[in-house]
Amino acid sequence: MNPVLEPSPQRRQLGRSRSYTCDDVPPRLLNWHAPRANRWERLCVESGELAVEWLDADGVRTEVLANGMTRWVAPGTRWRIDRIEAHARFALEVHADDATAAAAPLPLRAALLDEAHCVTIDTAAELAQLLDELSAGARALVRASFDFSAAMREAIARSTGRLCWHPLAADGGGLTALVARAGQPIDLLEYLGRDHAVIESALAGALRGDAERMQWLRNSLARHLVIEEEMLFPAYLAAAGNPGWVRGLCNEHQHLKRHLDHLDDPASQRRFLLLLDGHDEKEEQIVYPDIVLRLGNGLVGLYRQVMDLGVGEVVAKTA
Ligand SMILES: [Fe+2]
Ligand SMILES: [Fe+2]
């Protein structure tokens, strides 16, 4: 990494993590990873020392950061924490560089629904066959003429955590959902990250003027907010989670809902894109890791509840 590299003054801090120690550093930070397109991360050493590795064209370089030091990490820079002193503490800030602000959903995520294999089914037997044939790492966009929620919940329960679903629409007795099979058991926070990707992908379609994708966006966002506001956040707060973070996120949910109704207005659309992009990032990088720490095994039961939540009941409630 070039040590003089810094973000533009137009940066916006999305959040700052809690203080990490060698006992509770998120595993993500110990593996190679990189801030995404318009994101800067700042490592802030609060006490002790940590060694950080940078991966660039010249190979791996190690740098020791001491108490009081901060270091910017530019978008796309591959880095990881190599060593943390026993009594060292550090925090990680995530900043958005508004000089290159999001003008569209992230391309990788935006294509998720467009690229999914699409299957139309009319019977439970066809669903069972589809799920049987779905290989690890594969996804299918299932359009059914009947409500397969109950069958899907049972299949998920039998899959030892490898199957998940993102219901998108329930109307006229039918159901549409993205179903996925993973190679490893999926936990709640991985699922919520996948759900963010589904929402961003529906948004990409909605912005192209696709009315069905707009409906999927409304439905999947409504369900996601119910998961967070009625299941995840109350459990996190009961486990002494950070109430300021939860207040801030719920406040952003309100703004998202407001701008969603006016996506045809360019100013509202830009605001919605900026908000959603920063919001998802803040949750995935800063808040969700703290939720894992506070809730531990409690996440397993919550994930079961989330997999039981369809979309019809959410839409009926928010209508
Ligand atoms: Fe959220
Ligand atoms: Fe979220």
Query: Over the stretch 194-236, which tens digit does the pLDDT of each residue have?
Result: 899 899 899 989 988 999 999 999 999 999 999 999 999 999 9
Q: Please check whether residues 162 and 311 belong to one and the same domain.
A: yes
Q: What is the per-residue pLDDT across 24-67, written as a single tens digit (0 to 9) for each?
A: 898 889 887 888 767 889 999 999 999 998 876 666 788 999 99
**Residue 195 domain-assigned (yes or no):** yes
Taking the CB of residue 63, how many other CB atoms lie within 10 A of it?
16
| CA 11 to ligand 2 centroid distance, Å | 22
| CA 132 to ligand 2 centroid distance, Å | 30
**Residue 3 domain-assigned (yes or no):** no
**Residue 175 domain-assigned (yes or no):** yes
Q: Please check whether residues 183 and 296 belong to one and the same domain.
A: yes
Q: Please check whether residues 56 and 93 belong to one and the same domain.
A: yes
For the cut 60, the answer to whether the pLDDT of residue 73 exceeds it is: yes
Model confidence at 1, in pLDDT bands (50, 70, 90)?
Answer: very low
Please give the torsion angle defined by the CA atoms of residues 244, 248, 250 and 256, in that order, rounded to the nearest 10 degrees: 180
Final residue belonging to a domain, choices 42, 76, 100:
100
Residue 201, Cβ density class (10 Å: 0-12 exposed, 13-18 middle, ≥19 buried): buried
**Residue 307 domain-assigned (yes or no):** yes
| Rounded CA separation 270/39 (Å) | 18
CATH, residue 31: 2.60.120.10
| CA 196 to ligand 2 centroid distance, Å | 6
**Residue 5 domain-assigned (yes or no):** no
Q: Please check whether residues 170 and 211 belong to one and the same domain.
A: yes
Name the helix (H) or strand (E) containing 312. Answer: helix 312-318
Q: What is the per-residue pLDDT across 233-245, written as a single tens digit (0 to 9) for each?
A: 999 999 999 999 9
Final residue belonging to a domain, choices 100, 117, 133:
100
CA atoms 7, 12, 18, 24: torsion sign: negative
Q: Please check whether residues 203 and 88 belong to one and the same domain.
A: no
Model confidence at 271, in pLDDT bands (50, 70, 90)?
Answer: confident
Final residue belonging to a domain, choices 100, 133, 159:
100
SS3 288: helix
Model confidence at 106, in pLDDT bands (50, 70, 90)?
Answer: low
**Residue 4 domain-assigned (yes or no):** no
Average pLDDT, rounded, for the chain: 88
SS3 9: coil
Q: What is the DSSP letter of 47?
A: E
In this prediction the pTM is: 0.79
**Residue 269 domain-assigned (yes or no):** yes
Q: Please check whether residues 61 and 145 belong to one and the same domain.
A: no
Q: Please check whether residues 55 and 154 belong to one and the same domain.
A: no
Mean pLDDT of 83-97: 91
| CA 266 to ligand 2 centroid distance, Å | 24
For the cut 60, the answer to whether the pLDDT of residue 287 exceeds it is: yes
| CA 140 to ligand 1 centroid distance, Å | 25
| Rounded CA separation 11/97 (Å) | 4
For the ranges 80-89, 123-132, 265-274, which has the lowest average pLDDT?
A: 265-274
Q: Please check whether residues 152 and 286 belong to one and the same domain.
A: yes
pLDDT of residue 317: 73
Q: Please check whether residues 136 and 61 belong to one and the same domain.
A: no
Mean pLDDT of 119-141: 94
pLDDT of residue 219: 96
| CA 252 to ligand 1 centroid distance, Å | 8
Closest ligand (CA of 256): 1
Number of domains in the chain: 2
| CA 194 to ligand 2 centroid distance, Å | 10
pLDDT of residue 245: 95
Q: Please check whether residues 71 and 185 belong to one and the same domain.
A: no
* Protein residues near ligand 1, an ion, with CB under 5 A: 228
| CA 250 to ligand 1 centroid distance, Å | 7
Q: Please check whether residues 284 and 240 belong to one and the same domain.
A: yes
**Residue 237 domain-assigned (yes or no):** yes
Structural domain of residue 233, as residue ranges?
Answer: 107-318
Q: Please check whether residues 179 and 157 belong to one and the same domain.
A: yes
